[in-house]
Structure 1
Amino acid sequence: MTTLEEPRADAAGSVPLSRRTVPFGARLAAAGLVLGAGANTLQAVLGQVVERPDEVADQIRVFNEHEVLFTTMHLAGTLAVPFMAIGFVAAAHLLARRARRTGWVAGTMLVVGMFGFLAVHVAEMIQLAAILDPEGEAAATYLHGMDGAPLLAVTFGLPFLIGAPLGLLVLCVGLLVVGARVPRWIPAAWLVFAVLDFTIGGVGPVDPHWLYLLGAVGLAHHVLRDGAAAWRKS
């Protein structure tokens, strides 16, 4: 964390130092927002190009026919998660300046959700490697059968399925209600994204992740504007 010291005059006219703590620098916050949302959106858009079959035999055929596409999609999705976590922590920090407990709750839930999300992506990368291996059909079938394993579902699946949507809901509603000096269209866009993404998904060819990316770019601009004053003094 970074501690900033700002002068403020007291009633007697002296200027003591007040301390504000930020989790990291404004540039890292902006980079996390844009890179995380950008890579996550890229994965979602590529996922619309070729549908992933349910059966392992069909997956092996389709994955080998579109090896570059699926490899790019999974790499983008996996690399996105750490940056997404940074971006969500940045947004929660802005909320915590006006509503400390709400910001901490939202940030904690989203970090837990990203832990589960990263584990899911790593598991998919391992399965993809097995599928693309000419002799990996048995391993791919085994990994595919582990999707419903109770221990893995509780350890990784539930943290994502509970932490991510609820954390986003708390974050967006909190930013809209308390007015944390963040343009209201940003949490509104993220709220619509969360509702669509965790319910019906894409509407025709339009993927809701574009709303996530739009809001992330807008929030990054807000964080960096006026020499990052919005980040330090929010």
Structure 2
Amino acid sequence: MPRNSGTNQPGGVQSVHRSLDLLEAVAARGGTLSIGEIAEVTGVPLPTTHRLLRTLVDRGYMRQMPDRRYALGFRLVPLGGSASAMAGAGTDRLLRGLVDALGETANLAMLDGDQVAYVAQAPGRHAMRMFTEVGRRVHPHCTAVGKALLASTPEADVRALLARTGLPRHTDHTLTDADAFVAALAQVREAGFALDEGEQEVGVRCVAVALGGGPLPLALSISGPAPRMTDELVAEAVPLLRRTASALVSEVS
């Protein structure tokens, strides 16, 4: 998360931006943070961080642990459930059908502004499996779902997005050149599916397809450790993903 992300927003209420920055900082680090760590990560002044945290704790969106560190509050749980339900009542069933057939984690993601947000997931059946928190937001240039979503976007809009976000390197395989990324999107359009070859996380491979014809910019994927996500499994997954995507369109329409 960039420092001072709240103060760099073009509009809105600064205190709201900052409160969301605090929540996202703790969520992104998967556990608990001290007030000093939260202020350092977000770039919000320490006195302001303290006031905002007290409000979030009072409302149940943050909680203070016995060691005085802060964690996400349980008030967020029903909100997350409500957000997931927006994807459609049968989404979980369809995602689990992919897991039953392929064994790997199934994800549903949407383009949300300049980022990709994961809106639903069914975990794979292996002991070692991929896990992405519902609600997590990532850059589209290094994910299969992001490529699948941007493949149908006009090139000028793609380049404008990349100019705003950049192409930050996450691994040695991340595409960090705009021309190379645009060329990769042309390959996605030709193939009808997108791949993430360890571009977001080392050792993780993902294959995705977009949900064409739906009211929301959604993409469906499966992901797993690269040794299990073989070319053979990808070839088996693509038609299943396409059929499931078609079924999901009716769920979200």
TM-score range, shorter chain: under 0.3
Q: Structure 1 length normalisation: TM-score?
A: 0.27
Q: Structure 2 length normalisation: TM-score?
A: 0.26
Report which structure shows greater RCO (CA 8 Å, sep ≥6).
1
Q: Which of 1 and 2 has greater Rg?
A: 1
Higher strand share: 2
